[in-house]
């Protein structure tokens, strides 16, 4: 036995532990119980077990002359007394509070199921979770940074190539965005125009700069117009206000715009399909000096023409002429 015996606390009267050589704090109130070898007006409670001598005490009493008195060990080396049986009572508040010097052992916080993580905010609202810790932490961070850069660059490219809302993309029309074919440009818009109005047909073409290979320089200005004969002939101004559909070609795409006639336009008839295409006209102009990056203006507008013909205007080569739709022959 280690010398501890059960007794009562002189302060609170609850069961406590005593020791023959040192004061022991009460488990209930923290009051130190004096050493049992020097009682101070108190006695163990009835029924409490008596205490015995600490190991080595009998030998010291029998032969004190042979051995120097053992130095009393500091209190902190004795350790905490064993728990008192039945104390504190279950469910009673205030019992079981550790006395000063006998701090209760702290329980380790439960370990999280997974390693802690941090979120890396990427462009466009994307969040990249990265687990913190582990031997691959450095590689994870480097990979996250590389991914963030890649997403940012990809977002910029996507933003530049994306067709703005309300516009038609060149790819949807089967056109080359950088150099749309002049003939395909006006012909490919027929599908969208007939979705707008079932009876829509080509009304006019105005390409400010057509190259020698038959492609349009959209940076100089390009417009194709379709109209609806039924809406044009309506006496309701609200209907006529949406009887003309203009398509503007620019670097971002093709933008449809709503227009209409101020007056009622009766008996509009669709134009015949030109057998002489724009590419045929520029092929003839190649022989007159239209080569390389040189351009000419090519238009068709029935309001300003007496013939179904392509009107070509240019300074190099210098030209201002009409080429018939049926045979590409110049009209004088």
Indicate the SS3 state at residue 221.
coil
Residues 201 and 290 in one domain: yes
Residues 192 and 282 in one domain: yes
The total of other beta-carbon atoms located within 10 Å of residue 120's CB is 16
Element (H, E) at 143: helix 137-161
Query: What is the rounded CA–CA span in Å between residue 221 and residue 213?
Result: 17
280 domain-assigned: yes
Please give the residue range of the domain that contains residue 229.
182-331
Residues 132 and 194 in one domain: no
* CA distances in angstroms from 165 to 20, 46, 252, 253, listed in the order given: 93, 95, 10, 10
Classify each residue of 43-59 as buried b or exposed e, where b means 16 or more C-beta atoms within 10 Å of its C-beta.
Answer: ebeeeeeebeebeeeee
User: In terms of pTM, does the model score above 0.75?
Assistant: no
Indicate the SS3 state at residue 318.
strand
Query: What is the rounded CA–CA span in Å between residue 169 and residue 249?
Result: 10
Residues 320 and 197 in one domain: yes
Per residue of the chain (332 residues), what is the pLDDT tens digit? 467 888 888 888 888 888 887 888 888 888 888 887 544 444 444 444 444 433 443 433 444 444 444 444 444 444 555 555 544 545 444 444 444 444 444 554 445 455 566 665 655 555 556 555 555 655 556 666 666 666 556 554 544 557 789 999 999 999 999 899 999 999 999 999 999 999 999 999 999 999 999 999 999 999 999 999 999 999 999 999 999 999 999 999 999 999 999 999 998 999 999 999 999 999 999 999 999 999 999 999 999 888 999 999 999 999 999 999 999 999 98
Tell me the longest C-alpha to C-alpha distance in the chain: 149
């Amino acid at each position: 036995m280690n010398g501890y015996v059960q007794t009562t606390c002189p302060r609170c009267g609850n069961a406590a532990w005593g020791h023959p050589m040192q004061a022991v704090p009460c488990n209930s109130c923290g009051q130190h119980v004096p050493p049992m070898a020097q009682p101070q007006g108190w006695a163990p409670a009835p029924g409490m077990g008596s205490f015995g001598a600490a190991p080595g005490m009998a030998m010291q009493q029998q032969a004190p002359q042979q051995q120097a008195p053992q130095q009393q060990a500091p209190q902190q080396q004795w350790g905490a007394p064993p728990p008192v049986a039945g104390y504190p009572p279950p469910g009673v508040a205030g019992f079981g509070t550790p006395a000063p010097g006998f701090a209760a052992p702290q329980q380790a916080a439960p370990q999280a199921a997974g390693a802690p993580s941090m979120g890396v905010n990427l462009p466009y609202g994307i969040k990249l979770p990265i687990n913190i810790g582990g031997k691959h932490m450095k590689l994870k961070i480097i990979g996250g940074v590389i991914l963030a850069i890649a997403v940012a660059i990809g977002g910029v490219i996507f933003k530049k190539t994306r067709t703005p809302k309300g516009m038609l993309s060149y790819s949807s029309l089967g056109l080359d965005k950088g150099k749309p074919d002049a003939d395909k440009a006006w012909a490919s818009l027929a599908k969208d125009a007939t979705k707008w109005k079932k009876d829509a047909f080509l009304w006019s073409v105005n390409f400010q700069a057509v190259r020698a290979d038959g492609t349009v320089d959209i940076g100089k200005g390009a417009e194709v117009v379709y109209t609806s004969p039924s809406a044009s002939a309506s006496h309701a101004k609200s209907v006529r206000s949406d009887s003309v559909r203009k398509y503007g070609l620019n670097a971002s795409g093709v933008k449809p715009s709503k227009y209409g006639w101020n007056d009622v336009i009766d008996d509009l008839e669709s134009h015949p399909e030109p057998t002489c295409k724009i590419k045929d006209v520029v092929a003839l102009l190649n022989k007159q000096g239209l080569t390389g990056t040189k351009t000419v203006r090519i238009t068709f507008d029935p309001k300003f023409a007496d013939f179904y013909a392509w009107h070509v205007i240019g300074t190099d080569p210098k030209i201002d002429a009409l080429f018939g739709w049926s045979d590409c022959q110049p009209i004088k």
